[in-house]
Homo-oligomer: A and B are copies of this chain.
Amino acid sequence: MLISEFAKATGLPVDTIRFYIAKGLLKPDRGLKGGSNPFQLFTPEEVTVARMIRLQQTLGYTLGEIRALNDEYRAGAHSPERTLEVLQLQIERLQHRKAALDAALTFLHGKVEWIRSGRTGPAPQMEDDQR
Protein backbone atom coordinates (compact mmCIF):
# COMPACT_ATOMS: atom_id res chain seq x y z
CA MET A 1 0.00 0.00 0.00
CA LEU A 2 1.02 3.62 -0.52
CA ILE A 3 1.92 6.01 2.25
CA SER A 4 -1.50 7.70 2.40
CA GLU A 5 -3.25 4.35 2.79
CA PHE A 6 -0.72 3.37 5.41
CA ALA A 7 -1.49 6.63 7.17
CA LYS A 8 -5.16 5.73 7.25
CA ALA A 9 -4.48 2.19 8.43
CA THR A 10 -2.28 3.35 11.29
CA GLY A 11 -3.90 6.65 12.14
CA LEU A 12 -0.52 8.37 11.86
CA PRO A 13 0.03 11.56 9.88
CA VAL A 14 2.03 11.10 6.70
CA ASP A 15 4.72 13.40 8.05
CA THR A 16 5.12 11.28 11.12
CA ILE A 17 5.45 8.16 9.01
CA ARG A 18 8.18 9.76 6.96
CA PHE A 19 9.83 10.86 10.17
CA TYR A 20 9.82 7.27 11.41
CA ILE A 21 11.29 6.08 8.14
CA ALA A 22 14.05 8.67 8.43
CA LYS A 23 14.73 7.38 11.94
CA GLY A 24 14.93 3.82 10.67
CA LEU A 25 11.83 2.61 12.50
CA LEU A 26 9.98 1.67 9.34
CA LYS A 27 11.65 0.34 6.23
CA PRO A 28 9.14 0.21 3.37
CA ASP A 29 10.21 -1.19 0.01
CA ARG A 30 10.48 0.97 -3.05
CA GLY A 31 8.06 0.17 -5.84
CA LEU A 32 8.40 0.67 -9.56
CA LYS A 33 6.29 3.80 -9.66
CA GLY A 34 7.62 7.23 -8.90
CA GLY A 35 10.51 7.47 -11.31
CA SER A 36 13.59 9.00 -9.72
CA ASN A 37 12.03 9.13 -6.24
CA PRO A 38 10.27 5.78 -6.17
CA PHE A 39 7.12 5.51 -4.10
CA GLN A 40 7.38 3.61 -0.84
CA LEU A 41 5.25 0.50 -0.42
CA PHE A 42 3.99 -0.70 2.94
CA THR A 43 2.85 -4.17 3.96
CA PRO A 44 0.07 -5.02 6.43
CA GLU A 45 2.79 -6.34 8.74
CA GLU A 46 4.18 -2.84 8.95
CA VAL A 47 0.82 -1.64 10.20
CA THR A 48 1.32 -3.92 13.18
CA VAL A 49 4.87 -2.68 13.53
CA ALA A 50 3.59 0.90 13.59
CA ARG A 51 1.02 0.07 16.27
CA MET A 52 3.72 -1.64 18.27
CA ILE A 53 5.85 1.48 18.03
CA ARG A 54 3.01 3.57 19.42
CA LEU A 55 2.56 1.12 22.25
CA GLN A 56 6.22 1.10 23.08
CA GLN A 57 6.13 4.87 23.14
CA THR A 58 3.39 4.85 25.73
CA LEU A 59 5.66 2.63 27.77
CA GLY A 60 8.21 5.41 27.87
CA TYR A 61 10.70 4.22 25.31
CA THR A 62 12.36 6.77 23.06
CA LEU A 63 12.27 6.20 19.31
CA GLY A 64 15.98 5.37 19.49
CA GLU A 65 15.36 2.60 22.01
CA ILE A 66 12.42 1.30 20.04
CA ARG A 67 14.52 1.21 16.93
CA ALA A 68 17.25 -0.74 18.70
CA LEU A 69 14.73 -3.25 20.01
CA ASN A 70 12.99 -3.70 16.69
CA ASP A 71 16.26 -3.99 14.81
CA GLU A 72 17.31 -6.72 17.17
CA TYR A 73 13.97 -8.39 16.67
CA ARG A 74 14.34 -8.30 12.90
CA ALA A 75 17.94 -9.47 13.07
CA GLY A 76 16.83 -12.57 14.94
CA ALA A 77 13.81 -13.12 12.75
CA HIS A 78 15.22 -16.44 11.63
CA SER A 79 16.26 -17.54 15.09
CA PRO A 80 13.14 -18.49 17.04
CA GLU A 81 15.16 -18.50 20.28
CA ARG A 82 16.26 -14.91 19.89
CA THR A 83 12.82 -13.83 18.75
CA LEU A 84 11.23 -15.41 21.77
CA GLU A 85 13.83 -13.77 23.99
CA VAL A 86 12.98 -10.32 22.68
CA LEU A 87 9.27 -11.00 23.00
CA GLN A 88 9.77 -12.22 26.52
CA LEU A 89 11.65 -9.05 27.38
CA GLN A 90 8.80 -6.94 26.04
CA ILE A 91 6.31 -8.97 28.00
CA GLU A 92 8.26 -8.50 31.20
CA ARG A 93 8.42 -4.74 30.76
CA LEU A 94 4.71 -4.62 30.11
CA GLN A 95 4.02 -6.63 33.21
CA HIS A 96 6.27 -4.39 35.25
CA ARG A 97 4.33 -1.45 33.90
CA LYS A 98 1.08 -3.10 34.74
CA ALA A 99 2.24 -3.68 38.29
CA ALA A 100 3.03 0.02 38.70
CA LEU A 101 -0.38 0.80 37.33
CA ASP A 102 -2.02 -1.55 39.78
CA ALA A 103 -0.13 0.06 42.63
CA ALA A 104 -1.44 3.43 41.56
CA LEU A 105 -4.96 2.09 41.34
CA THR A 106 -4.64 0.65 44.81
CA PHE A 107 -3.48 4.02 46.04
CA LEU A 108 -6.40 5.83 44.41
CA HIS A 109 -8.95 3.33 45.68
CA GLY A 110 -7.41 3.66 49.12
CA LYS A 111 -7.79 7.38 48.92
CA VAL A 112 -11.42 7.10 47.90
CA GLU A 113 -12.05 4.86 50.89
CA TRP A 114 -10.18 7.20 53.18
CA ILE A 115 -12.34 10.11 52.08
CA ARG A 116 -15.58 8.14 52.24
CA SER A 117 -14.77 7.21 55.81
CA GLY A 118 -14.37 10.84 56.79
CA ARG A 119 -10.59 11.10 56.42
CA THR A 120 -9.88 9.24 59.60
CA GLY A 121 -6.29 8.28 60.16
CA PRO A 122 -3.40 9.21 57.92
CA ALA A 123 -3.85 9.90 54.20
CA PRO A 124 -2.76 7.03 51.97
CA GLN A 125 0.75 7.37 50.60
CA MET A 126 2.10 6.06 47.35
CA GLU A 127 5.15 3.88 47.33
CA ASP A 128 8.10 4.81 45.21
CA ASP A 129 8.11 2.69 42.08
CA GLN A 130 11.61 3.76 41.01
CA ARG A 131 10.87 3.00 37.41
Contact = CB atoms under 8 A, between A and B. Distances in A.
A94 B101 contact: yes
A97 interface: yes
A16 interface: no
23 contacts: A11-B128, A11-B130, A45-B123, A48-B123, A51-B126, A54-B131, A55-B104, A55-B129, A58-B60, A58-B97, A58-B100, A58-B131, A84-B115, A84-B116, A87-B111, A91-B105, A91-B108, A91-B112, A94-B104, A95-B105, A97-B101, A98-B98, A101-B101
A99 to B, nearest CB: 11
Chain A interface category by residue count: 35 or more
A80 interface: yes
A83 B52 CA distance: 35
Contacts of A11: 128, 130
A8 B128 CA distance: 12
A128 B51 contact: yes
A125 interface: yes
A109 interface: yes
Nearest to A49: B126
A2 B80 CA distance: 53
